[in-house]
Amino acid sequence: MEQKFIITIGRQYGSGGREIGKRLSQLFNIAYYDKELIKEASQESAGLLVKFRKVAEYFEKADEKAPGSLRHMLSMSWASLGSTFGSDGSLCNENIFKYQSDVIQRIAQEHSCVIVGRCADYILRDVPNCFNIFIHAPMQNRIERITRTEPIDVKEALEKAEKINKHRAAYYNFYTDKEWGDSASYHLSIDSSILGSEETAFFIKRFIELKLEQSK
């Protein structure tokens, strides 16, 4: 029986973390979760497909945003799914982070996979064979990647990178007892600009293979 394992990826915006995560899922032939995770959580929380789009919208908005925008949700009790929605279809009485945590934990129990973002490393901190990776790169390299893949100029790319990374750090630091981007928070922290996305994925693959061998 093959060993089940999880790869979690934290990343700076523009570092290629999502691309590397997808490549790792291909190299290991395992599932990949990013926005797909939000979709799955949305479907399950709705219970009714008619509610799907509304819930998906809330999960998208809650995705790694600064905690201030979610603080009122966190103060609410974890209600039953039947009382999740208000009469107008809005999300209410729900702890979005807790629900996403439940979905992540269930996925990790079911099969090997790559999970990008969502504080998955912290949520799965007690799960065996869970390898936590952080992808970063110098600002110049990130700006070059952003302007290459998005129709924005250097100034806009810089502003966007700073804003998104600030939100990611605030989100992560708020929900965990660790610091986003701190190498001590991860098993491996790697600069993707040194080897490039493809070779970085192969490097991480070899690292995980060695760790799995050690755990046998």
Give me the residue spans of the domains in the chain.
Answer: 6-215
* Mean pLDDT value of segment 135-156: 95
Tokens of 146: 């952003």
Grade residue 211 by pLDDT with cuts at 50, 70 and 90. very high
pLDDT score recorded for residue 62: 54
* Mean pLDDT value of segment 61-83: 43
% of the chain exceeding 70 in pLDDT: 71
Looking at every residue in the chain, the average pLDDT score rounds to: 80
The predicted-structure confidence for 150-197, as pLDDT tens digits, reads as follows 999 999 999 999 999 999 999 899 989 899 999 988 999 999 999 999
pLDDT score recorded for residue 44: 60
pLDDT score recorded for residue 99: 78
The CATH number given to 6-215 is 3.40.50.300
pLDDT score recorded for residue 36: 66
pLDDT score recorded for residue 60: 54
User: Which secondary-structure segment (H or E) carries 9?
Assistant: strand 6-11
Please check the confidence at residue 76 and state whether its pLDDT lies above 60: no
